[in-house]
A = this chain, B = another copy of it.
Amino acid sequence: MPEAASAQAARATIGDSEFDRDTAVTRREAGVYDIDLNVGWTIQNALNGGYLLAVLGRALADALPHADPFSISAHYLTASRPGPAVVRTDVIRTGRRLSTGQASLFQRDEEGQEVERIRVLASYGDLDALPDDVRTTAEPPAIPPMDQCFGPQDAPDRVAGRSAIADRLFLKLDPSTLGWAVGAPSGKGEMRSWFGLADGRDADPLSLLLAVDALPPTAFEIGLSGWVPTVELTVHVRCRPAPGPLRITITTRNLAGGFLEEDAEVWDSTDRLVAQSRQLASVRLG
Task: Give A residues with C-beta under 8 Å from B.
Answer: 70-71, 73, 75, 77-78, 92-93, 97-98, 100, 102, 116, 119-123, 127, 130-138, 188-189, 222, 231-232, 234, 236, 238-239, 252-259, 261, 273, 276, 278, 280, 282, 285
Given A239-B256, A276-B254, A73:B133 Cβ within 8 A: no
Given contact pairs A73-B232, A92-B116, A253 touches B138 in the complex (Cβ within 8 A): yes
Q: Say whether B234 contacts A232, CB under 8 Å.
A: yes
A203 to B77, CA, bound (A): 29
Q: Which residues of B contact A120 (CB under 8 A)?
A: 121
A selection of 26 A-B contacts at a CB cut-off of 8 Å is A70-B259, A73-B121, A75-B121, A77-B92, A77-B93, A78-B93, A97-B282, A100-B119, A119-B121, A121-B121, A127-B257, A130-B257, A130-B259, A133-B257, A134-B255, A135-B256, A137-B188, A137-B189, A138-B253, A238-B256, A238-B257, A238-B259, A253-B273, A254-B273, A256-B273, A276-B278
**CB of A231, distance to nearest CB on chain B (Å):** 5
Residues of B close to A132: CB separation below 8 A? 257
What is the total number of copies of this protein in its complex?
A: 2
* A209-B223 Cα distance, complex, nearest whole Å: 32
Please name all residues of chain B whose beta carbon is closer than 8 Å to the beta carbon of A93 when the two chains form the complex: 77-78, 116
Measured CA separation A252–B97 after assembly (Å): 22
- Residues of B contacting A231 in the complex (Cβ-Cβ under 8 angstroms): 70-71, 98, 123
Q: Are B131 and A258 in contact (CB under 8 A)?
A: yes
A128 → chain B closest CB, angstroms: 10
**Best-surrounded residue of A254, A273, A280 (most CB of chain B within 10 A):** A254
A70 contact set on B, CB distance < 8 A? 231, 259, 280
A73-B73, A75-B71 known; A238-B254 Cβ under 8 A: yes
Give CA–CA (A91, B231) in the complex, Å.
Answer: 16
A257 to B132, CA, bound (A): 5
Please indicate the chain B residues that have their CB under 8 angstroms from the CB of A282 in the complex: 97
Q: How far is the CA of A127 from the CA of B130 in the complex (A)?
A: 41
Q: Which of B92, B138, B256 contacts A134 (CB 8 A)?
A: B256
- By a CB distance below 8 angstroms, the chain B residues around A261 are 236, 276
CB distance from A123 to the nearest CB of B (A): 5
B254–A136 touching, CB < 8 Å: yes
Closest chain B residue to A100 by CB distance?
Answer: B75
Known contacts A135-B256, A138-B254, A73 near B234 by CB under 8 Å: yes
The answer for the CA separation of A120 and B256 in the assembled complex, in Å, is 25
Which residues of chain B have C-beta atoms less than 8 A from A285's C-beta?
131, 133
- Inter-chain CA distance A255–B280, complex, in Å, is 24
| A136 contacts B256, C-beta separation under 8 Å | yes
